[in-house]
């Protein structure tokens, strides 16, 4: 949807998805249970803002909800090189003590993306490298590697391979996800299936 404004057009979009497990940076956020997710975005001339939500369950506490509120700016530097910078707030209304902020940025070049996120609340840095390859018949494959480091210890790496397919107005994905953490059940190797729809 495009909303005409006095200065410029503003594009409004939405999304909704279901998945058998909400995994973030290699770790299940739903105690390995399914999740329903969705959000809305506003975009104008490279500037954007949005909100996204999902159910979460960290075990040992009542099931709660995650809301991500974010804004940023992105664009093309050249035909093959683009950038994105922004701010995101991870909010957990039922367990607000774990809420935190990140400042993030990324560069993308011909399917490869290098990103970094800085979390001053937890003295943490997340660096990730990804590569997305388009395949025939609306298939795609994506490769991801992340390095999560904390000043207080507990560093780990996560990695994934995702096969995606668009059909009938829906986006399907099947991902294999793992980390190098040992003895943490919610960080073990797993297969995650998701169906998403843009609104």
Report how far residue 83's alpha carbon sits from residue 167's, in angstroms, rounded to the nearest whole number: 29
If you average pLDDT over residues 15-26, what whole number do you get? 98
Q: Residue holding tokens 């390995």?
A: 32
Say whether pLDDT at 5 is over 60.
no
The pLDDT score that the predictor gives to residue 97 is 84
CA angle, corner 148, sides to 145 and 151, nearest 5?
Answer: 160
Other CB atoms within 10 Å distance of the CB of residue 88: 19
Q: The pTM is what? A: 0.93
Token pair belonging to 83: 């950038």
pLDDT digits (tens, 9 = 90+) for 36-91: 999 999 999 999 999 999 999 987 666 689 999 999 999 999 999 999 999 999 99
* CB of 176 closer than 8 Å to CB of 161: yes
How does residue 6 score in pLDDT terms, banded at 50, 70 and 90?
A: very low
The pLDDT score that the predictor gives to residue 1 is 62
Report how far residue 190's alpha carbon sits from residue 30's, in angstroms, rounded to the nearest whole number: 13
pLDDT digits (tens, 9 = 90+) for 154-194: 999 999 999 999 999 999 999 999 999 999 999 999 999 99
């Amino acid at each position: 949807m495009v909303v005409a404004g006095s200065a410029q057009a503003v594009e409004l979009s939405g999304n909704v998805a279901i998945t058998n497990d909400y995994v973030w940076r290699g770790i299940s956020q739903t105690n390995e249970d399914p999740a329903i997710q969705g959000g809305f975005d506003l975009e104008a001339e490279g500037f954007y803002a949005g909100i996204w939500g999902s159910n979460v369950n960290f075990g040992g506490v009542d099931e709660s909800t995650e809301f991500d509120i974010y804004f940023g700016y992105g664009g093309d530097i050249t035909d093959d090189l683009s950038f994105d910078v922004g701010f995101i707030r991870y909010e957990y209304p039922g367990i607000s003590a774990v809420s935190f902020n990140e400042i993030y940025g990324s560069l993308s070049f011909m399917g490869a993306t290098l990103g970094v996120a800085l979390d001053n609340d937890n003295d943490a840095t997340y660096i990730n490298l990804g590569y997305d390859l388009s395949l025939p018949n609306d298939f795609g494959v994506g490769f991801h590697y992340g390095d999560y480091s904390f000043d207080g210890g507990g560093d780990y790496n996560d990695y994934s391979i995702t096969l995606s397919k668009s059909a009938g107005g829906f986006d399907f994905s099947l991902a294999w996800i793992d980390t190098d953490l040992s003895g943490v059940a919610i960080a073990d190797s797993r297969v995650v299936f998701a169906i998403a729809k843009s609104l």
